[in-house]
Amino acid sequence: MGLTVEWEIVRAGTWNGITLTTGDLDEMAETYDPAVHEAPLVLDHPSEADPAHRGPAYGWVESVRSVGDKLLARIKQVPEELRSIMESGRYKHRSIEFYRDFQGTGRKYLKRVALLGAAIPAVSGMDPLKFAEDGGPSDAFETEFEEKPKKEEQTMSETYTKKQVDDLIEAAVSKAEERVKAELTKSFGEQLEAKDEEVKSLTERAEKAESLSVEQEKRLVEVASQAAEKEVKAFCEKLVAEGKVTPAEAEDLQVTLLALPDDEASAIEFSEGEKENPRARFMKTYEAREKFSAVPMGEVAKPSAKDGPFVTFGEGDEEVRVEKGVVEFYESNRSDFEKMGVSLEAYARSEAHNAA
């Protein structure tokens, strides 16, 4: 599992010409999400020979928090071997890299934490680093990164002139800026390429799913249509068998029933609190017909126009005569017929046509 440490990694201030405010530190703490980009702990910053820094990671930043003018990182999976390396004094400083405009959001984001050996750290005055066992910070290891020089050792000011130190810092800053620009350009290009591939893949999957959905919908409509035809045909055959309609009338009735809507959206309130779709209501109306309704007009003895039980509609060539029982049946179900938009004359003409 490795060790877990929490170190101060940077402070607010101006370092190498770059100013970090406490607001910037708050922003890096707020934006950090290991699920988006997990910052590694590495040894030294990228070199010209390895600008992408493809070396191993010595830990992973689990979380980041800001405390006053400090930014602290909790780092997990730090190998035990790193303890002895630090105790030996081979790595005494630390530094960070961060994105200035992470993924085009305009926000700063922690990229990696680096342990520095011979390189001069840009940030000074940070708290000593301490190791911690996995599970939280502790004071088990108190070797400071920035040890004070022993009396017999020369300080930097005794070894280098101020101008030499300034020249070294300026050269280091220039190289660091070039590396950061190159890394940001490469990283952003790779991210755009990955996003393009992701969008292409999602588009192809969506088109395939849409095609399958259309085919499935067509199949469902076809199955529903076949089921409706089978149901209506059986209903009409039953009416013929019961003597309520003639075979010729059944053929027309089947076409009419299939043309009427039968879904819930088309339901009509025929009586208070009772709704039915037009097809079901029409079927119920025909099922309630008396047996005489199916007898063709030609098979009934025709009384005189004056005395017979007939009702006449229209004049001249448009004149039709139907049994009075047809009118009585319509009148007894007038409200239902009107809701379906069927007038008395239209119903009478339909009955006369079916009986012909």
Q: What's the whole-number average pLDDT of the chain?
A: 77
pLDDT tens by residue, 122-132: 566 666 555 54
> Does residue 278 share a domain with residue 166?
no
User: Is residue 208 a part of any domain in this protein?
Assistant: yes
Question: What percent of the chain is modeled with pLDDT above 90?
Answer: 15
> Does residue 100 share a domain with residue 179?
no
CA distance 85 to 301: 120
* Pick from 65-69, 118-122, 178-182, 239-243: least confident: 118-122
pLDDT tens by residue, 49-100: 666 677 788 899 999 999 999 999 999 998 988 878 887 888 878 888 899 8
**Last residue of some domain: 110, 133, 148?**
148
> Does residue 144 share a domain with residue 21?
yes
**pLDDT score, position 156:** 40
CA distance 5 to 260: 75
User: Is residue 260 a part of any domain in this protein?
Assistant: yes
> Does residue 119 share a domain with residue 175?
no
> Does residue 289 share a domain with residue 169?
no
> Does residue 129 share a domain with residue 24?
yes
pLDDT tens by residue, 143-156: 233 333 344 433 34
Q: Is the pLDDT of residue 304 over 50?
A: no
Q: Can you tell me which residue has the tokens 């399958």?
A: 212
**pLDDT score, position 66:** 94
> Does residue 110 share a domain with residue 18?
yes
**Residue count (the chain):** 356
User: Is residue 226 a part of any domain in this protein?
Assistant: no
> Does residue 139 share a domain with residue 176?
no
Q: Is the pLDDT of residue 26 over 60?
A: yes
User: Is residue 17 a part of any domain in this protein?
Assistant: yes
Q: Which of 298, 270, 302 is nearest to 284 (CA)?
A: 270
What are the two backbone dihedrals, phi and then psi, of residue 151, each rounded to the nearest 5 degrees?
-60, -40
> Does residue 66 share a domain with residue 38?
yes
Is the whole-model pTM more than 0.75?
A: no
**Last residue of some domain: 97, 123, 148?**
148
> Does residue 254 share a domain with residue 305?
yes
pLDDT tens by residue, 259-302: 888 887 877 776 666 788 888 888 888 888 776 544 443 333 33
> Does residue 141 share a domain with residue 70?
yes
Q: Is the pLDDT of residue 135 over 50?
A: no
What are the two backbone dihedrals, phi and then psi, of residue 43, each rounded to the nearest 5 degrees?
-100, 115
pLDDT tens by residue, 225-235: 889 899 989 99
Please report which residue ranges of 242-343 form alpha helices under DSSP H: 247-259, 278-287, 324-332, 334-339
What pLDDT band is residue 206 in, cutting at 50, 70 and 90?
A: confident
pLDDT tens by residue, 333-355: 888 778 777 888 888 877 776 66
Total domains in the fold of the chain: 3
Residue 129: which residues within 8 A CB-CB, separation 6 or more?
A: 5, 7, 8, 86, 94, 143, 144, 145
**Last residue of some domain: 97, 117, 148?**
148
Range of the domain at 204: 155-220
User: Is residue 227 a part of any domain in this protein?
Assistant: no
> Does residue 189 share a domain with residue 139?
no
User: Is residue 165 a part of any domain in this protein?
Assistant: yes
CA distance 352 to 147: 113
CA distance 281 to 267: 9
* Pick from 22-26, 58-62, 130-134, 214-218: least confident: 130-134
User: Is residue 235 a part of any domain in this protein?
Assistant: no
